[in-house]
Structure 1
Amino acid sequence: MKRENVNAKNAPQPRGGYSQAVKLENFERLVFVSGQVPLNSDDELPDTFEAQARQVWLNIDAQLKAAGMSKDDIVKVTAFLADRNHTMANRAARAEYLGPLAPAMTVVIAGIFDAGWLLEVEVIAAQ
């Protein structure tokens, strides 16, 4: 698969570890991971945003591994935050998990299904 991060020079440049677009060619598989919530396999909910964000990325990692993929295959991230005050903590948790990978990204401030969940994240991965 050929993967290219695209950031048009005549449009705003990305800030914070993402690309404005990701171009794929010759890929064989796509996996769409539903919005992952901050519950562990025992349905336990962490107390802090940072712990919830780590749990969400652990859940994404588990889904990708179950599909025979890894975080390196992520091409698009959509994050839903319950409060815009979590923006920087969300960015830090995402950077901790993704490292230098810069997928296309959307962050939405929204009401989340369960009031205790402070975020939900979905991804698209390709190989």
Structure 2
Amino acid sequence: MTQPVPIFPAGRQALYEKHGYSAALRSGDLLFVSGQVGSREDGSPHPDFEAQVRLAFQNLQAVLAAAGATLDDLIDVTTFHTDPEAQFETILKVKQEHFPQPPYPNWTAVGVTWLAGFDFEIKVIARLPQAA
């Protein structure tokens, strides 16, 4: 059995270690990325919702890049929303900027009541390019 390899984006490993989890785990040619939120450098939530969603995508891209992947390598996406009805339009706007054309990854959106002070979280599974 292959031992999973932890992946951390540059400059944020201490934040993950503080909370006791990995940003992502590589297992074979799959990358399992922990939920990414719109956290600033110090780990606090960005107060503006759209900025929080954009920052969550930036943080996701940093984790993917650390593993040699991009958004094009995603095969499954799950997002969590604290107020889906009110937030959906903003989320779709940002999502469309990152995924402007097919093929789109699978996507599951889940409404939740708590995200540790955040209002949006995105977790993914990616297939790593052969070169990774």
For normalisation by structure 1, the TM-score amounts to 0.72
Q: Equivalent residue for 1:10?
A: none
For residues 5-44 of structure 1, what are the alpha-carbon distances to aligned partners after superposition, in whole Å with 9 as ceiling and x for unaligned? Answer: xxxxxxxxxxxxxxxxxxxxxxx61101110111022324
- Runs of 4+, deviation exceeding 3 Å: none
2:104 paired with 1:102: yes
Q: What is the CA RMSD across the aligned residues, in angstroms? A: 1.4
Residues 69-105 of structure 1: per-residue CA shift (max 9 Å, x gap):
1111011110000002101111111111222241001
Does the residue aligned with 2:42 lie in a helix, a strand or coil?
Answer: coil
CA contact (8 A) 1:78 1:105 kept: yes
Please tell me the residue identity of whatever aligns with 2:56: V
State the shift of 1:111 in Å. Answer: 1.8
Q: How much has 1:47 moved relative to structure 2?
A: 1.7
Task: Tell me, yes or no, if the aligned pair for 1:32 and 1:124 is still in contact at 8 Å.
Answer: yes
Residue aligning to 1:11: none
- Indicate the SS of the match to 2:77: strand
Higher relative contact order (CA 8 A, sep 6+): 1
Give aligned-pair identity as a percent: 34
Q: Deviations over 1:106-125 (max 9, x none)?
A: 000102331x3111110111
Which secondary structure state, in structure 2, belongs to the residue aligned with residue 95 of structure 1? Answer: helix
Question: How many corresponding residue pairs?
Answer: 99
Instruction: Provide the C-alpha distance between the structure 2 equivalents of 1:56 and 1:82, rounded to a whole number of angstroms.
Output: 15
TM-score (ref. length: structure 2): 0.69
- 2:92 corresponds to: 91
What is the aligned partner in structure 2 of residue 8 from structure 1?
Answer: none
* Counterpart code for 1:97: H
Post-superposition offset of 1:67: 0.7
SS of the equivalent of 1:105 reads strand
Letter matched to residue 60 of structure 1: L
Q: Answer yes or no: is 1:61 the counterpart of 2:61.
A: yes
In structure 1, stretches of 5+ residues that fail to align are: 1-27
Conserved? CA contact 2:52–2:120, under 8 Å: yes
